[in-house]
Every structure is written in C-alpha cells, then in structure tokens.
Amino acid sequence: MLEIIYEDEHLIAINKPHGLLVHQSSIARDATEFALQMLRDQVGKHVSPVHRLDRKTSGILLFAFDKESEIAMHQQFMNAATEKKYLAILRGFTPDEMDIDYPLAKENGTMQDAFTSFKTLQKAEVDVAFGKHATSRYSLVEATPKTGRMHQLRRHFSHILHPIIGDRTHGCNKQNKFFLEQWNMTTMLLHASELKFIHPKNQKEIHLKAGLHDEFKRVMDFMKMKL
C-alpha cells in the first residue's frame, strides 16, 4: 500500500518509495510495479501524475483525478509557481549555504537556465577509511530548486563536486560501490520532502510534507545525523 499524504476530490499525493517508477517506461523494462497503476488500484479511480520523480528519488508525488486539475497543475510546475524542497546526503563537507547558477543541456543539446539553492543541515565524519582518507565525510543538505530541469539536483551537486550518494548516473561510482560493500545500500539518498502550490480549484495554498523512508533513515542513523 502506498502512503497517501494528501487527498481531496481533485488531487492526491503519495510519499513515493525509493526504486518505484512513476509509470511504465521503455528505459526500465525490468520494473513490474509502477506508482500510477498501484495508486489507481488502491483508490479505485483514474489518476494522472502532474510532475515526475526519478525512480530512485523518494518523496512527494502529486496526481490529479480530473483533466482540468491535471492541466492547471502542469502549468504551475512548468511556470515554477510551486515551491519544492529536497533532502539529500552528499559526498564531502558542503558550504553552509550556496546558490548554484549553472545552465544544463537538454537531450537535444539546447542549454537551459538552472538555479538551485541549498543549505547544509548537518555534517558527518564516519570512522571508516575511504581510499587514501582515514575517514569518510558527508553532508545532509536541504535543497530548493528554482527551476525544474531534468536531473537538476543530481547534475548541480555533481557540478560542485559534492555528488548525491547512490546516484549512478551523475554521482561517484567509487562512493556508490563503497556504500554497497560497507552498508549494503543501493538507494539514492534524495528525498522530495516538501511541496507548496496553489490549489487549482479553491486557490488556497497547500503545503505538503513527506517523511523519510527507512533506508534514508538507516544511513542517517549510522552517520549520527538527526533532523
């Protein structure tokens, strides 16, 4: 059963687990379960996703029950009228606060402006050697993307040399292998924790929050991090 964190007659939001695809995709033919079908079967109604989360990203995923709400919410996401916050665990000690203003290329090569702000919530030094270093250093950050580009947070954190742990595409393969061998961890440590938007019907501000899933909390526990 999916965890439903918001529902009314027009919209429904879940706390998506790590590793669950939003819908069927030719890119991931190995998948047999999808959030769209699972939620539809769970509530017994047609649902349409109004934005996307990567397969390995957990957290708030919003769906619409009707076409009018779906279109209105698509517009809000496209026009950057929503406010999103993410939690991530990164390699190394990050600055206390930072703005990343770094354009990103679309699949066709066209460059798009991309802007992310983040603040560091906690830092951890784990007493486990990594490479030539006697210890391993990590940071828990809260990120606020101002634009919504493909893999924006993953690419931005890689650009500043603090990749997200568990990111196979844009991250550090040595770190990912280290986490697999040391702690049997294959999850990407990125979680969509908060979402603010204007309800398409009553025009009220909706503020959703989603708690961390067990695997993310397990890593925080052995790093002695607390929210």
As annotated, the active-site residues are 54
What DSSP assignment string belongs to 87-137?
EEEEESPPPSEEEEE--EE-TTS-EE--EEEEEEEEEEEESS-BTTBSSEE
Place of tokens 């429904």: 12
What DSSP assignment string belongs to 56-98?
T-EEEEEEESSHHHHHHHHHHHHTT-SEEEEEEEEESPPPSEE
Specify the DSSP class assigned to residue 212: P
CA distance 114 to 6: 29
Phi-psi category of 86—alpha, beta or left, where left has phi over 0 and alpha has psi -120 to 50?
beta
